[in-house]
Amino acid sequence: MHTIFSIYFLILGFILGSFYNVVGLRVPEGQSIITPPSHCPSCGRRLTIRDLVPVFSYIFLKGKCRTCGSKISPVYPIIELTTGLLFLFSFLRATSVGAMLAGWLLISLLIIVLVSDLAKMIIPDKVLLWFLPIFILFRVIVPLQPWWDSLLGAASGFLLLAAIALISRGGMGGGDVKLFALIGLFTGTKIVLLGFMLSAFFGAFFGIIAMMLGLVKRRQPIPFAPFIMLGVLTAYFFGEQMISFYLSLLY
Ligand SMILES: [Zn+2]
């Protein structure tokens, strides 16, 4: 049973990841996510089911459009694969159905934000506004933490990021502030604060390595969303253990 569910949820993640690619690319442009149907950005040919199988189409087509031969961005299959693996991970890691679904919702938000940030360097308000009522409703049905901790989490995420945005003068955008308020609402205070610290740590770490390797120049803006995803999901899935381990060192 376990194996069958694992495969189902991996495939579900592949399919949703494919949809999140579309959402993350079209919403910042103000386009509909339904029409026009997916097409090759070079030759405009409408994609058929053979081109749209998540992960596998890219492999079979060797990363090229079947008609015009232009390169397909590897970001698409990477996003699909990542979503699938994270959905599977949430299933394997969760101790209840509610916790698994909560993980999936958080992963979904972070993946869409990642696609938008990689492609357009923005976190669209529209995406955050869609997730707000879904998160509130989910929290009412599945209260994984007390209601006041959700409010405190939202306030903590907002205030911490707003303070950093003010101090750094544009190093942190308004989108990040709203995103962390939304994450705090969903995860509660401890996890959003730890999630931000880990995001900043991962961002700084990779930033320094990339600079040393000459991949980016000083002051060149790099998308923060990959590190937000890494930091927040690490905090979400391992935060409780990390915090109790840390406290055990103190006492
Ligand atoms: Zn083409």
One digit per residue, the tens of pLDDT, for the chain of length 251 reads 789 999 999 999 999 999 999 999 999 999 998 888 889 988 989 999 888 899 999 999 999 999 999 999 999 999 999 999 999 999 999 999 999 999 999 999 999 999 999 998 899 999 999 999 999 999 999 988 899 999 999 999 999 999 998 888 766 788 999 999 999 999 999 999 999 999 999 999 998 898 889 888 777 777 889 999 999 999 999 999 999 999 898 87
At residue 160, the pLDDT reads 94
If you measure from the C-alpha of residue 31 to the centroid of ligand 1, how many angstroms do you get, rounded to a whole number?
Answer: 20
Nearest to 116 by CA among 14, 32, 220, 224: 224
If you measure from the C-alpha of residue 187 to the centroid of ligand 1, how many angstroms do you get, rounded to a whole number?
Answer: 42
Residues β-bridged to residue 46: 39
At residue 1, the pLDDT reads 74
At residue 173, the pLDDT reads 81
If you measure from the C-alpha of residue 39 to the centroid of ligand 1, how many angstroms do you get, rounded to a whole number?
Answer: 8
If you measure from the C-alpha of residue 188 to the centroid of ligand 1, how many angstroms do you get, rounded to a whole number?
Answer: 45
If you measure from the C-alpha of residue 50 to the centroid of ligand 1, how many angstroms do you get, rounded to a whole number?
Answer: 14
If you measure from the C-alpha of residue 151 to the centroid of ligand 1, how many angstroms do you get, rounded to a whole number?
Answer: 48
Which amino acid, residue 15? I
If you measure from the C-alpha of residue 74 to the centroid of ligand 1, how many angstroms do you get, rounded to a whole number?
Answer: 15
At residue 170, the pLDDT reads 67
If you measure from the C-alpha of residue 193 to the centroid of ligand 1, how many angstroms do you get, rounded to a whole number?
Answer: 44
If you measure from the C-alpha of residue 13 to the centroid of ligand 1, how many angstroms do you get, rounded to a whole number?
Answer: 26
Neighbours of 241 (CB within 10 A): 9
If you measure from the C-alpha of residue 114 to the centroid of ligand 1, how many angstroms do you get, rounded to a whole number?
Answer: 25
Helix spans in 94-213 (H): 97-120, 125-141, 147-168, 174-187, 189-212
pTM: 0.93
If you measure from the C-alpha of residue 117 to the centroid of ligand 1, how many angstroms do you get, rounded to a whole number?
Answer: 25
Q: Extract the tokens encoding 4.
A: 């069958």
If you measure from the C-alpha of residue 90 to the centroid of ligand 1, how many angstroms do you get, rounded to a whole number?
Answer: 36
At residue 12, the pLDDT reads 97
| Percent helix / strand / coil, the chain, rounded to 5 | 75, 0, 25
Nearest to 116 by CA among 126, 106, 104: 126
At residue 5, the pLDDT reads 93
If you measure from the C-alpha of residue 229 to the centroid of ligand 1, how many angstroms do you get, rounded to a whole number?
Answer: 31
At residue 111, the pLDDT reads 98
